[in-house]
A and B are shown apart, each in its own frame.
Chain A
Amino acid sequence: MKPLHELTVAQIQQQLIEKKFSSREITQHYLNRIDTLNGDYNCYITVDASGALAAAEQADQAIAAGSNAPLLGVPIAHKDIFCTKGLTTTCGSKMLANFVSPYDATVVSKMKTAGAVMLGKTNMDEFAMGSSNETSFFGPVKNPWNLETVPGGSSGGSAAAVAAQLAPAATGTDTGGSIRQPAALCGITGIKPTYGRVSRYGMIAFASSLDQAGPMTKTAEDAAILLNSMSGLDHKDSTSLDTAVPDFTATLDESLAGLKIGIPKEYFDQRLDTAMADAVQASLAELEKLGAKLVDIELPNSALSVPAYYVIAPAEASSNLSRFDGVRYGYRCKDPEDLEDLYTRTRSEGFGDEVKRRILVGTYALSAGYYDAYYRKAQQIRRLIKDDFVRAFEQVDIIAGPTAPSTAFKFGAKTADPVAMYLEDIYTIAVNLAGLPAMSLPAGQLDNMPIGMQLVGNYFAEQKLLNVAHQFQLATKWHTSTPTSLKG
């Protein structure tokens, strides 16, 4: 039998029901691994051993009683952006280092209802602002494939935890690529659903019109299983979609014969490393062998997505982060002289440099006289970007290309130049602006480091994406490849 940490969520579900092992056994197994190995990777900010074991005991009783809750007894990790009642939720920031939420995020409560056992909370870029996990107040996460390189961000702790087999699956959030880019850099599978598919209630807000939660897993099948439990209308989130949620696992086995895959020429231009392009092309050829047809398409406004995003996201962040003022919860500066000093020192001491930078950009873009030139202009460009995708989806079923321009880079390589870091998300950001679903899956390696392929679907087409990814994973082995550091 395989070691427990090598099992997928689907295999854990099956073997728990067959009583090959108990939820307590697999939960304890993961807690032991975390205890031994988390110091090497820094994936977790908080580990909840007693809570996890209690939940596992409960799950074992429910299994014995014949319950068939979909994630019953399966250990998972939550990104530390999701509020968890009674357990610290830091959002990777000094500002919330002591914050214990009085309620659960909807994603957390839904997965709890589905029977999942939470191991702990994973590290992330501060307030999800970053593409390398280097902005976390709790120190950077290391990429299990090469400890000198970043895991990507902002959901880098979740991605590294799955890659290092310190959790079979984890949740993430994606505002400009924060599920897909770390999934690509750590060699795992991750999906950002259609905007509104998963409730944002209790998910600490960065840019509300772009933020969306999704699963990060070893396989597309696992992503489908988790997404089933995460999705659905929530009256506590006014942008949550009132749309039926299909069973995302029901269509995994459909044939890809006749599937039309759009290849945007803009995603394979001179900015993409040739070796990266070759690897993605080889994976696209695999999809052709499965019956798909590749169609050249154009997304002419895609180069504008990064500029538009760096107005919209900071503008929304500057508004969302105004709530951190040292009055009701979180960090408060010592001995404030007056109210102004309380606000200013609390925020200046509580936020890190990148968060302050984005608040300043956002405040500037929204300040008197600049609204039309920046925010309104960016929202107009956002429509042009959406219209490009709408036209493309008249010709094709899905769109494919690279997830990130390169494999994982070294710590410090992009920290001095915020714009270089922002361009890390050049292929992922347009999808958030348009509100579309997209995923990343392992699709090759370069110098033993994983490469991600991005699949973008039309609105509500998560089933199609997961189907394509699952068929690809049945035909290839990239997703089963694990970091060499784990083999010792």
Chain B
Amino acid sequence: MSINSEQVANTAKLAKLKINADEASEVAERITAILDLVDQMQAVNTEHVEPMANALDAVQRLRIDQANPSEDPQARRAAFQTIAPATDQGLYLVPKVID
């Protein structure tokens, strides 16, 4: 299956990536090569095969949804926000969303 520059642009939009117009055809060409590789799968009949997400068919362990009292939430928030690009009074700053 081949993918054209327009499909690349649409997919990039979904992925929040920008592909420059001068790169689009090369990106499309390389992704087409990957999709050609992937399309080898289509030759196999998998009609009655159950899809497998985990080899041991394990299910995710759940835990009780409760706060861990050993952690001071203020200190935790401060630790996480020291590495943020922009914060103010404990909030993450982003460009204005609503005028």
Contact = CB atoms under 8 A, between A and B. Distances in A.
Interface residues of A, number: 72
B18 A307 contact: no
B95 A382 contact: no
Contact of B83 (A102, A347, A419): A102
Interface string B21-43: 00000010011011111111110
A44 interface: no
A308 B58 CA distance: 20
Interface string A339-353: 111111101100100
A364 B54 contact: no
Contacts of A347: 15-17
A417 B53 CA distance: 29
Interface stretch (A47-55, A268-276, A325-333): A325-333
Contacts of B19: 356
B53 A359 contact: no
Contact of A339 (B14, B36, B38, B94): B94
A378 interface: yes
A57 B27 CA distance: 52
A360 B42 contact: no
A418 B84 contact: no
Contacts of A340: 16
A361 B92 contact: no
Contact of B58 (A241, A359, A380, A422): A241
Given A241-B58, A344-B18, A357 B39 contact: no
Interface string B78-99: 0110111110000010111100
A304 B43 CA distance: 10
> Which applies to chain B's interface (DSSP): helix, strand, loop or mixed?
loop
Contacts of A330: 85
A360 B40 contact: no
Interface in B1-25: 3, 7-8, 11-12, 14-19
Contacts of B58: 196, 239, 241
Contacts of B82: 102
A139 to B, nearest CB: 22
Contacts of A459: 55-56
B13 to A, nearest CB: 8
Contact of B60 (A239, A328, A359, A361): A239
B31 A364 contact: yes
B50 interface: yes
Contacts of B49: 380-381, 383-384
List the 9 closest A-B pairs by CB distance, nearest first: A435-B55, A379-B51, A332-B85, A380-B46, A383-B52, A380-B49, A363-B15, A348-B18, A102-B79
